[in-house]
Structure 1
């Protein structure tokens, strides 16, 4: 696994074995993740979503503690996955990084608690699978608008983004910060240390 520029985010670029029958790869290994992040992923929920081309989901994050770490991959189709640092006090607060995930390269992404997550489907029937450290809890989950001009995420320009009502009504990063919705970087780091 290799770290991204935002602390708490790693990408797995697996070896995919091809033969006349198809392909095989390991998309998750507990030992590799533990070596990279310093602790195990406590698995509380596995989820799957499919999206049509142009669907934009996120930027989603959860209260820390307990937060929600995610390990995810795109098993069919293609997406542009974006990690956003929404942790107040982080040296990279407000910055983002994107990774293309698709059914060919089979890359996977790990996001620590407190990081924001969004993606845009680049193909029809883009299918994402997630392993999550905590279960779905709407009262602890929040959003920042994925088209916030202050974030200036470089979404593919050839598509009209399709947002859910929740995401379309999400606050800007600045408004979420003023409202006290964003996780604190120091608490996210302390939470990570407690997991070790």
Structure 2
């Protein structure tokens, strides 16, 4: 497994080694010891989630506030997404900046998005299956959302008219957001 830091160093891309032949393929999708060694601390995952979406569905930009903050290890099982991590840590030199990358069943890339980031993705294919591990349990009253199309963020979503939930249509502009993350 290969690890790589993104332009925002705390967001990490993971590329598994894929062993393929005429029968299909095998890969190790996660290895706790290698992961902890690379990030330099011990991270435990307590909940796994999965969603299936049609092409053009946008989910995000979501976060959970402390003490229920979540780090996420995200991957695509089927289809593809444009994945986005937005830094919402007040003291961070990259506050308000984001990184984006394609996650797909073909590239098998995974991304670790730590606590202190809002996360979202837009599906690029029908029947996309998105899976993620969380470092904390879902806590509805701690959930928040930054407006996906806030002009100040300048996120290039590759979808001009995404399919959105009510929650995602009513996110907060970054300028009006009082981050709970130091």
Shorter-chain TM range is over 0.9
Between Structure 1 and Structure 2, the one with more strand by share is 2
2:68, 2:142 within 8 Å by CA — same for their partners in 1?
A: no
CA distance in 1 between partners of 2:155 and 2:26 (Å): 33
Give the alignment of 1:144-183 within 5 angstroms: 144-157=146-159, 159-177=160-178, 182-183=179-180
Q: Deviations over 1:147-183 (max 9, x none)?
A: 11011101104x5211110010111111123xxxx23
Deviation at 1:6? 1.4
CA distance in 1 between partners of 2:143 and 2:81 (Å): 22
Q: TM-score, normalised by structure 2?
A: 0.94
Give the alignment of 1:16-165 within 5 angstroms: 16-157=18-159, 159-165=160-166
Runs of 4+ in 1 over 2 A off after TM superposition: none
2:44, 2:135 within 8 Å by CA — same for their partners in 1?
A: yes
CA distance in 1 between partners of 2:61 and 2:95 (Å): 14
1:184 matches 2:153: no
1:8, 1:115 within 8 Å by CA — same for their partners in 2?
A: no
Structure 2: any 5+ residue segments left out of the alignment? none
Give the alignment of 1:3-22 within 5 angstroms: 3-22=5-24
The alignment yields a C-alpha RMSD, in angstroms, of 1.3
Between Structure 1 and Structure 2, the one with more helix by share is 1
Structure 1: any 5+ residue segments left out of the alignment? 186-196
1:41, 1:133 within 8 Å by CA — same for their partners in 2?
A: yes
Q: Secondary structure at the match of 2:94?
A: coil
Q: Secondary structure at the match of 1:83?
A: strand
2:71, 2:134 within 8 Å by CA — same for their partners in 1?
A: yes
Would you say how many aligned residue pairs link Structure 1 and Structure 2? 180
CA distance in 1 between partners of 2:129 and 2:32 (Å): 22
Q: Deviations over 1:11-64 (max 9, x none)?
A: 001221211111111111111210121223222211001111110110111113
2:68, 2:137 within 8 Å by CA — same for their partners in 1?
A: no
Q: Secondary structure at the match of 2:56?
A: coil
